[in-house]
Amino acid sequence: MQRVLATYTAEYSPRVHAAAKQALLGTDSDRDRFVRTGFAEAKALDTAAREADEQHRQVIAEAERDYVRLLADADPGEQVRLAAQHALRPGRTDTDIREFYATGWMAAAALDVEIFRLRTQDAGILYRALIPRLVADAEAAELEARNAGEAAAEQARLVAARAWATTREKAEEARQAWEAERQLCLEQARYWQAVKDRAAAEADPVWASIATGAEKQRGGWTTETTFAGDEAGRWAGARDEAQLGYERMTTRP
């Protein structure tokens, strides 16, 4: 629950931010109340405040709706796409579009980052558990091949070669997976830079808040790009090590 509350304090508008922060610092009862009723109450107050602001009571320009349509179709983040589609659902009103710009967009973007991190964390744990074990097995097989008597040496070298080949294949699989994640992160970072650039050219004050959120998202995805690149490099090294082991076991001594 504390992770969820921390997300609300970082991503939502003023009253939700304040209520979530108070709950985060409060008791279990405070946090439970926020989840049951406090979030909805604070969000309703924020919506009412925006609606009372004459500048935001104006009809949303068609260009702004078009931008939400673009996000609904082509945003790199699934949660942002879903949030934009919800804002454009049949029967929607200008209030729904304003809600998307004010809170929905950045809240959905935060979920995209969180889902990415959870997904890649699980994949990373799998590879870090599997590949070192394969390396250890291949090293043991190679040692056995080197110590085998002449009659058993050839068969032992074949076993070691297969072990290194399996290790190489799994390491390359991990490298490719992390390279794909790196490209995804890079796309997200570029996208948020484009959002930030657009925000800088907009006069509506709501875009000032969007610019701040966009910079935060850009920075987060840039960090994830670096991390994914480092992981891809790690498994490229393991692949190359396995290739050398394979060559040792398939080259006549």
pLDDT, residue 10, reads: 47
Confidence of residue 61 (pLDDT cuts 50, 70, 90): low
Mean pLDDT, the chain, integer: 86
Tens-digit pLDDT profile for residues 193-247: 999 999 988 877 778 888 999 999 999 999 999 999 999 999 999 999 999 999 9
Per-residue pLDDT at 58 exceeds 70:
no
Angle between helices 2-11 and 14-25 (to 10 degrees): 150
User: Distances from the Cα of 201 to the Cαs of 75, 204, 208, 214, in angstroms?
Assistant: 20, 9, 10, 14
Residues 115-138 have a mean pLDDT of 95
Instruction: Name the pTM for this structure.
Output: 0.72
pLDDT, residue 11, reads: 47
Q: Which residue has the higher pLDDT, 225 or 22?
A: 225
Per-residue pLDDT at 250 exceeds 90:
yes
Per-residue pLDDT at 22 exceeds 80:
no
pLDDT, residue 59, reads: 47
Tell me the percentage of the chain whose pLDDT exceeds 90: 58
Tens-digit pLDDT profile for residues 136-163: 999 999 999 999 888 888 999 999 999 9
Q: Which residue has the tokens 């589609």?
A: 85
pLDDT, residue 156, reads: 94
User: What is the full DSSP assignment across 214-228?
Assistant: HHHHHHHHHHHHHHH
The domain spans of the chain are 1-52, 111-250
pLDDT, residue 239, reads: 97
User: What is the full DSSP assignment across 158-208?
Assistant: HHHHHHHHHHHHHHHHHHHHHHHHHHHHHHHHHHHHHHHHHHHT--STHHH
pLDDT, residue 106, reads: 94
Residues 115-144 have a mean pLDDT of 95
Q: Which of 48-57, 61-70, 101-110 has the highest mean pLDDT?
A: 101-110
Per-residue pLDDT at 13 exceeds 70:
no
Q: Which residue has the higher pLDDT, 21 or 89?
A: 89
pLDDT, residue 94, reads: 81
Per-residue pLDDT at 4 exceeds 60:
no
Least confident of 1-5, 38-42, 245-249: 1-5
